[in-house]
Amino acid sequence: MTASLIDGIAIAAKVRSEVAVGVGKLLKDSGITPGLATVLVGDNVASQTYVRAKQKACAEVGIESYGHVLSSDSTQNEIVSLVRDLNADHSVHGILVQLPLPDGINEEEVLSSISIEKDVDGFHPINIGKLGMKGRDPLFVPCTPDGCMRLLQESGAEFSGANAVVLGRSNIVGLPAAMLLLKRNATLTVCHSRTRNVAEVCRQADILIAAVGRPEMVKADWVKPGAFVIDVGINNKWISHTDDREFRCASSGDLFTAHHQDLSEKGGRKRMGYLDESSGDVYSRDHLPNGIEVEGLVKLFRKNKLVGDVDFDEVKEVAGHITPVPGGVGPMTIAQLLSNTLRSAQALS
């Protein structure tokens, strides 16, 4: 391996501890506890997991979280009306509406209804607009791209004049990442589904941010030797085994069966076991040892592996610096959210 690993877990821990210190100081100096309101609409399982993780992270740094869950058949008016109540609530300093919203809900209208002073996700059109404009500064920047910039900064990347390529143009990551790089005077190219010769374009990049949601798309010959490679992708790669297989639970020693079909949407025999990707250990649902958290584990139906948009095993031999998946960009999103919430509380206090 030639690349040095960009350790998102360590850098996120540093951000979180800075936030915890700031939260303590704000409470001591002004008697204010920062508050984050989360709004979850519908029953998207991934969104439920993300929101739970955000609430847990808030608790760990002393930020109060106020969880609001609306059913998937909520109307536009109900969602906007909740946001307006939260805008007026003095104990709430940040409002996070988890995306995606259910079909039929106008996302733009919901995001526009968040007060820009409480827009800790940075998705309000005014905050996004200012991010793209010369000489203007948004109050908040979207958390995942801001986390990417912090990872680059902490690893010694030079932005000014660097060739930066962003793969993907989503509102949540690709587009704001591109605007952040431009603000730092990088020479910017954004690649998307219509881009010709993507590999050749990526190969010019001193800084490459991959945010397309395509498992292991970026190969070694897409990467300039020595480049900084930031992998935003979180994709499931299924490794099929053809039969139901027995695993021995690492904590209890019991045998249990993982089924080769993905039964996740069918109810019934859900969550037969969990795979800890860092150790390769498997646990049955009822025998998770102390200190192991379900959020960090992968549900085991078939054997499953999380991979990014970058083929890590190949690209690590070419890049100068690279983020792993998991343990790269992922932890930074929540850390930046905590940081934005603290900043909002400081500004509103």
Q: Residue 218: helix, strand or coil by DSSP? A: strand
> How many Å apart are CA 253 and CA 195, to the nearest integer?
52
Task: State the nearest-atom distance from the C-beta of 254 to ligand GUN, in Å.
Answer: 36
Q: How many CB atoms lie within 10 A of CB 171?
A: 14
Can you tell me which of 284, 333, 340, 344 binds ligand GUN, judged by CB under 6 A? 333
User: Which among 164, 183, 143 has a CA at the least distance from the CA of 330?
Assistant: 143
108 CB burial (10 A radius; 0-12, 13-18, 19+): exposed
Rg, C-alpha atoms of the chain: 21
Structure tokens at 107: 């996302």
Per CB under 6 A, 98 contacts ligand GUN: yes
> How many Å apart are CA 302 and CA 286, to the nearest integer?
19
98 is catalytic: yes
- Among residues 7, 119, 121, 146, the one annotated as catalytic is 121
User: Which among 39, 24, 131, 26 has a CA at the least distance from the CA of 85?
Assistant: 39
Can you tell me which of 12, 96, 167, 186 binds ligand GUN, judged by CB under 6 A? 96
Per CB under 6 A, 97 contacts ligand GUN: yes
Per CB under 6 A, 309 contacts ligand GUN: no
55 is catalytic: no
> How many Å apart are CA 262 and CA 266, to the nearest integer?
9
Q: Which of residues 111-140 bind ligand GUN (CB under 6 A)?
A: 121
Nearer to ligand GUN, 108 or 244 (CB): 108
224 is catalytic: no
Per CB under 6 A, 339 contacts ligand GUN: no
Structure tokens at 191: 């690649």
Task: State the nearest-atom distance from the C-beta of 233 to ligand GUN, in Å.
Answer: 13
Nearer to ligand GUN, 113 or 144 (CB): 144
Number of residues located near ligand GUN, criterion CB under 6 A: 9
Cis ω before 34 (30° cut-off from 0)? no
- Among residues 54, 118, 130, 183, the one annotated as catalytic is 54
Beta carbons of 20 and 14 less than 8 angstroms apart: no
Q: Residue 120: helix, strand or coil by DSSP? A: coil
Nearer to ligand GUN, 284 or 336 (CB): 336
Nearer to ligand GUN, 119 or 216 (CB): 119
Per CB under 6 A, 334 contacts ligand GUN: no
Nearer to ligand GUN, 120 or 229 (CB): 120
Can you tell me which of 65, 113, 127, 144 binds ligand GUN, judged by CB under 6 A? 144
Q: Name the closest residue to ligand GUN (Cβ).
A: 99
- Binding positions for ligand GUN, rule: CB under 6 A: 96-99, 121, 143-144, 172, 333
